[in-house]
């Protein structure tokens, strides 16, 4: 499978030279940061044309991450709607470290290494990106520094322990709400202290150019594999593809294989939290407004004064007030539909997939599963012969204690 040529990606997910997707995206205006970003961008374009780099990345994807991840036909889940649409899962939960984030972390550390950097630095919310980056950094022998809000540190114990064991330097951030947004600011601040020896390694398709493009490229392997696998499995394309959207990296990864296929309906699922009318959600594309957030232009959830609003989701990995510029563009183009799932539907889907198929999904991924179940029900028997492919972005081990407590099991 050749999934490496960036020019094979659909045009509508490629930014222009200034890093804009339509009006969204762009670069930082901080002079030092802007210069560093230009260096990273040049190095990125150079390595993805370098056969040694590509071979090394492919070798690690196969023998370390365990790619390709399979597509699984979830028959029991599909049978909940008799004679209805068939649901398939792209099993990113089976990757080493249990989620899709390792795909771009491998790319980012290889790039940092190639640039002669000594250290990678990043933010993390639930700790998923921190663990994936600490893993990849250990693999290639780079130092790793992760900034994490004190509230998240208290909440996400297993991931904090993993990062420590993997040898990463964890920096607690107590400013503001002590969560992801503050961790991003803190990590950028630390990066500015020594850009010479460090590389910032963002955890999704967000932030200033070139990160949205770079992370999307590293994740596009998911859609490239999925398209070929689905053809082999069924002889055709899925009718619908579905993924949850936090920053949007697992979603654009899967979508990249299908954006140019007009027959495929594409759906991104955002967290409706406690309900869209409660103010406790993270439905950025559904209810946000365009504005500047942390070095790029995107839809984000804002207070009256234009500052980023407090957000909520049962899945900490989706708990971010902004979203990747590529999704903002795809929303405006009308190519991708952005829907939502509430905390309650998500918990239901988490339990349903666990009990029907023996697969415990991440709460993030459960948003996409919830939508697929709802969609199959909606279609009813008119869905017969149709297929829905869901990106199962991660496994739910990290969420089991929370769910047990929440449901009183």
Ligand X SMILES: *Cc1c(COP(=O)(O)O)cnc(C)c1O
> Which residues are designated catalytic?
101, 123, 393
- Residue 15 near ligand X by CB under 6 A: no
- Residue 27 near ligand X by CB under 6 A: no
- Residue 282 near ligand X by CB under 6 A: no
- Residue 321 near ligand X by CB under 6 A: no
- Of 110 and 244, nearer to ligand X (C-beta) is 244
Q: Which of 150, 155, 139, 180 is nearest to 57 (CA)?
A: 139
Q: Tokens 């918990």, residue?
A: 347
- Residue 284 near ligand X by CB under 6 A: no
Give strand pairing partners of 258.
none
- Residue 148 near ligand X by CB under 6 A: no
Say how many residues make up the chain.
409
- Residue 65 near ligand X by CB under 6 A: no
The count of residues interacting with ligand X (CB under 6 A) is 19
Residue 95 CA, chain-centre distance (Å), reads 14
- Minimal distance in Å, beta carbon 365 to ligand X? 5
Sort strands 24-25 and 20-21 into parallel, antiparallel or unpaired.
antiparallel
DSSP H or E run through 376: helix 363-379
Of 99, 180, 183, 293, the one binding ligand X (CB under 6 A) is 99
Contacts of 171 (CB under 8 A, 6+ apart): 145, 146, 147, 148, 186, 187, 190
Q: Which of these segments, 14-22, 41-49, 182-190, 242-250, binds ligand X (CB under 6 A)?
A: 242-250
Minimal CB distance residue for ligand X: 394
- Residue 101 near ligand X by CB under 6 A: yes
In contact, 147 and 124? CB cutoff 8 Å? yes
- Of 231 and 406, nearer to ligand X (C-beta) is 406
Instruction: Return d(Cα 209, Cα 38) in angstroms, integer.
Output: 8
Q: Which of these segments, 28-36, 139-147, 221-229, 240-248, binds ligand X (CB under 6 A)?
A: 240-248
Q: Which of 324, 38, 46 is nearest to 195 (CA)?
A: 38
- Of 250 and 256, nearer to ligand X (C-beta) is 250
- Residue 248 near ligand X by CB under 6 A: yes
Q: Which of these segments, 22-30, 71-79, 141-149, 360-368, binds ligand X (CB under 6 A)?
A: 360-368
Of 204, 284, 286, 352, the one binding ligand X (CB under 6 A) is 204
- Residue 223 near ligand X by CB under 6 A: no
Instruction: Return d(Cα 313, Cα 320) in angstroms, integer.
Output: 9
Cβ atoms within 10 Å, residue 306 = 12
- Minimal distance in Å, beta carbon 405 to ligand X? 20
- Minimal distance in Å, beta carbon 393 to ligand X? 3
- Residue 3 near ligand X by CB under 6 A: no
Q: Which of 208, 236, 244, 233 is nearest to 338 (CA)?
A: 244
Backbone Cα Rg of the chain: 20
Please report, as ranges, the residues that interact with ligand X according to CB under 6 A. 99, 101, 128, 204, 244-251, 317-318, 362, 364-365, 393-394
């Amino acid at each position: 499978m050749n999934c490496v040529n960036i020019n094979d990606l659909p045009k509508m997910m490629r930014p222009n030279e200034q890093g804009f997707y339509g009006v969204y995206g762009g670069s930082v205006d901080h002079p030092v940061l802007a210069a560093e970003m230009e260096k990273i961008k040049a190095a990125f374009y150079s390595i993805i044309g370098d056969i040694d780099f590509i071979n090394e990345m492919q070798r690690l994807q196969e023998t370390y991450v365990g790619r390709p991840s399979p597509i699984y036909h979830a028959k029991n889940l599909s049978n909940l709607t008799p004679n209805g649409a068939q649901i398939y899962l792209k099993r990113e939960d089976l990757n080493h470290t249990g989620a899709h984030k390792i795909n771009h972390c491998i790319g980012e550390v290889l790039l940092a290494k190639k640039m002669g950097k000594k250290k990678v630095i990043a933010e993390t919310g639930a700790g998923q990106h921190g663990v994936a980056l600490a893993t990849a950094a250990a693999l290639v022998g780079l130092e790793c520094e992760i900034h994490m809000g004190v509230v998240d540190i208290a909440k996400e114990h297993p991931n904090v322990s993993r990062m420590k064991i993997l040898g990463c330097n964890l920096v607690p951030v107590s400013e503001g709400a002590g969560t992801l947004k503050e961790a991003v600011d803190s990590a950028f601040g630390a990066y500015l202290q020594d850009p010479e020896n460090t590389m910032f390694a963002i955890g999704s398709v967000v932030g200033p150019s070139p990160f949205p493009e770079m992370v999307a490229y590293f994740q596009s392997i998911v859609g490239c594999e999925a398209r070929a696998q689905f053809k082999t499995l069924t002889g055709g394309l899925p009718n619908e593809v579905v993924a949850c959207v936090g920053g949007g990296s697992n979603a654009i990864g899967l979508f990249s294989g299908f954006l140019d296929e007009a027959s495929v309906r594409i759906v991104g699922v955002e967290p409706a939290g406690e309900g869209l009318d409660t103010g406790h959600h993270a439905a950025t594309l559904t209810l946000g407004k365009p504005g500047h957030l942390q070095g790029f232009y995107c839809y984000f959830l804002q207070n009256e004064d234009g500052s980023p609003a407090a957000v909520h989701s049962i899945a900490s990995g989706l708990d971010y007030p902004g979203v990747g510029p590529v999704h903002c563009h795809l929303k405006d183009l009308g190519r991708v539909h952005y829907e939502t799932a509430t905390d309650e539907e998500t918990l239901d889907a988490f339990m349903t997939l666990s009990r029907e198929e023996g697969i415990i999904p991440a709460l993030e991924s459960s948003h996409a599963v919830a939508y697929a179940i709802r969609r199959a029900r909606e279609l009813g028997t008119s869905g017969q012969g149709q297929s829905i492919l869901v990106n199962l972005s991660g496994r739910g081990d990290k969420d089991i204690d929370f769910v047990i407590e929440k449901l009183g099991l």
